[in-house]
Amino acid sequence: MTLRTVPTKPFDDQKPGTSGLRKKVSVFQQPHYLENFVQAIFNALENCKGKTLVLGGDGRFYNRQAIQTILKMAAAAGFGRVLVGHNGILSTPAASCVIRKHSAFGGIILSASHNPAGTDGDFGIKYNTTNGGPAAEKITDAIYARTRYLQRYYILEADDVPLDTLGQTRLGEMRIEIIDSVYDYAEMMESLFNFAAIRQLCSGNTFNMRFDAMHAVTGPYAHEILEKRLGAPVGTVMNGTPLEDFGGGHPDPNLTYAHDLVETMFSAQAPDFGAASDGDGDRNMILGKRFFVTPSDSLAVIAANARLAPGYHRGLAGVARSMPTSMAVDRVAQALNIDCYETPTGWKFFGNLMDAGRVTLCGEESFGTGSSHIREKDGLWAVLFWLNILAVRQQSVEEILLEHWGKYGRNFYTRHDYENVDSSIAKDIMAQLHTHMATLAGKPFGTRRVAYSDDFSYTDPIDGSVSTGQGMRIGFEDGARIVFRLSGTGTEGATLRIYVEAYEADIAKHTQDTQHALADLIGIANQLSGIREKTGRTEPTVIT
Ligand code: VG1
Ligand code: CO
């Protein structure tokens, strides 16, 4: 085994986005591309010598090759020990759990989340710190800075490490432990929720559920937890075998892409409860019988019912939501008399608040919910929380939502995504909106008047760091909001996201169709952005 120093040249496109570096597989397959980024991570960390690293990914194409490269580079960097998920698999929440449980220095997670996989699909890599959470901007900026002038990387020349046998091996001086990908995570879930009550619900004859793993990473986790530990009938988990190309699908748990599940849940014989997770297992969608729960409402319902789960019976320290997420949870926080924080999009902004004990629950409108049990959003955790609530309350999902809206009012909410827009057109649209922002306050639009409009910036209350340019937002006097943002996870062109929200206190109006209820605001958003004229699109690519 020899240590090689490989001369290389910087790539100019290695700036991490909302959640790590995501690119087409073919980009990652360029000679030195992955190696450069990994070396930049190691260079940005203070001292890797003797430290423990966690390594795993969502199982997509290129996962195994990347793991072999990273192991050899970790050995060259002097890491003492690497914990690798069996067959290279670790869901994002499981990786966070393992980092924390084993007090690792950090972890590398290989995933492009819900983006399609396979030879023509996407790949991704991100670094998580010792708290188990995505590296803060300060660190991702430091990694990016290193990519800009990298001249060499270090790698051990050695045979590939077998990833399919549990147990220990070595690579030079470095110890490698191939660990069960599910065990630590499943144990943790058992410690948080009332498994006895959920088991009674899931194994009985009156309750029927489906979980769609979308051929992605949560299959093994869901089989173990839902079917084995909780006694749900075999067949509860759909598409439960992870495939390198996710079966050719787009494992994004929403009404458009989780079509198998949606068809079942909206059929005449619909089960009582349905859920899905994404490529790397951190997102979730919750459905009742012919009923969709928006992620923002899901967060609010979990907050309002948190004490029903043993891990949360003492209540919540506080809650946090990303800026574009609806304000439904704010109302629950107010009723509970706890703090509610508003952060920029991306889970990395919740880390400091959780580490400081300020918040217990966090959520994003993009089907992400989680808590301080780890430092990532957690798909199956949200599903188990819902099952715990259903087991205790013995009501349907729809009944629980109607009661919730009756008590707090309803925040109607939708997101319109325009995908693969020409990048320069998207930039123009945002620039023009930026100019509008200064002039809108006080202006009337139909029956509404603008209370404020700005380009959202956030000062972290714990470390004082400032993040600017986090989305244009327009708030109306009646609490309605419109937000415009460019996606930071896409790999083709630009994706423009338009988020629209309105509050409705009148219970008689709570069962309206969302698009109908928000039609006037959607019209204002389209008019202000000029999206349709400028892109020639007549409708969004995806509506959630
Ligand atoms: C999207 C979501 C954001 C989420 C991010 C990572 O980012 O909007 O809420 O945190 O994906 O989720 P963007 O920049 O494309 O809007 V995941 O499950 O893709 O790791
Ligand atoms: Co994800």
The mean per-residue pLDDT over the stretch 128-149 comes to: 95
The mean per-residue pLDDT over the stretch 108-123 comes to: 94
Relative to the CA of 114, which ligand 1 atom is closest? 19
485, 337, 290, 321: which is closest to 411 by C-alpha?
A: 321
> Could you tell me the distance, in angstroms and rounded to a whole number, from the CA of residue 416 to the centre of ligand 1?
14
Is there a contact between 19 and 169 (Cβ–Cβ < 8 Å)?
no
Task: Kindly list the domain boundaries of the chain, sorted by start residue.
Answer: 2-181, 185-408, 410-543
Catalytic-labelled residue, pool 91, 96, 113, 296: 113
% of residues, the chain, pLDDT over 70: 100
Are domains 2-181 and 185-408 of this chain identical in fold?
A: yes
pLDDT of the residue at 181? 86
Summarised one tens digit per residue, pLDDT across range 400-439 is 999 999 999 999 999 999 999 999 999 999 999 999 888 9
> Could you tell me the distance, in angstroms and rounded to a whole number, from the CA of residue 514 to the centre of ligand 1?
23
Q: How far is Cα 275 from Cα 292, in angstroms, rounded to an integer? A: 10
Q: What residue's CA is closest to ligand 1, atom 8?
A: 366
Q: Is the pLDDT of residue 1 over 80?
A: no
Q: How far is CA 488 from the centre of its chain?
A: 13
pLDDT of the residue at 8? 97
**Architecture of the domain made up of 185-408:** 3-Layer(aba) Sandwich (3.40)
The mean per-residue pLDDT over the stretch 90-94 comes to: 97
Helix (H, G, I), strand (E, B) or coil at 484: strand
CATH classification number, 2-181, choose in 3.10.105.10, 3.10.20.340, 3.40.120.10, 3.40.50.300: 3.40.120.10
Q: How far is Cα 516 from Cα 341, in angstroms, rounded to an integer? A: 30
% of residues, the chain, pLDDT over 90: 91
Is there a contact between 377 and 347 (Cβ–Cβ < 8 Å)?
yes
pLDDT of the residue at 500? 97
pLDDT of the residue at 336? 97
Q: How confident is the model at residue 491 (pLDDT cuts 50, 70, 90)?
A: confident
271, 296, 276: which is closest to 286 by C-alpha?
A: 276
Q: How confident is the model at residue 249 (pLDDT cuts 50, 70, 90)?
A: confident
Q: How far is Cα 536 from Cα 428, in angstroms, rounded to an integer? A: 14
> Could you tell me the distance, in angstroms and rounded to a whole number, from the CA of residue 76 to the centre of ligand 1?
32
For the chain, what's the residue count?
Answer: 544
Q: Is the pLDDT of residue 490 over 80?
A: no
The answer to whether 191 is a known catalytic residue is no
Least confident of 67-81, 138-152, 355-369, 530-544: 530-544
pLDDT of the residue at 493? 85
Q: Is the pLDDT of residue 389 over 80?
A: yes
The mean per-residue pLDDT over the stretch 171-189 comes to: 95
Amino acid symbol at 359: V
The mean per-residue pLDDT over the stretch 446-454 comes to: 92
Summarised one tens digit per residue, pLDDT across range 50-59 is 999 999 999 9
* Average pLDDT of the residues of the chain: 95
Instruction: Please name the fold of domain 410-543.
Output: TATA-Binding Protein (3.30.310)
pLDDT of the residue at 188? 96
CB atoms within 10 A of CB 365: 26
DSSP state of 135: P
Q: What residue's CA is closest to ligand 1, atom 16?
A: 487
For tokens 């490698």, the residue is 176
Summarised one tens digit per residue, pLDDT across range 10-51 is 999 999 988 899 999 999 999 999 999 999 999 999 789 999
Does the beta carbon of 347 sit less than 6 angstroms from any atom of ligand 1? yes
Q: How confident is the model at residue 205 (pLDDT cuts 50, 70, 90)?
A: confident
Q: How confident is the model at residue 489 (pLDDT cuts 50, 70, 90)?
A: confident
> Could you tell me the distance, in angstroms and rounded to a whole number, from the CA of residue 278 to the centre of ligand 2?
6
pLDDT of the residue at 46? 79
Q: What residue's CA is closest to ligand 1, atom 20?
A: 113
Angle at CA of residue 335, ends 332 and 338, nearest 5°: 80
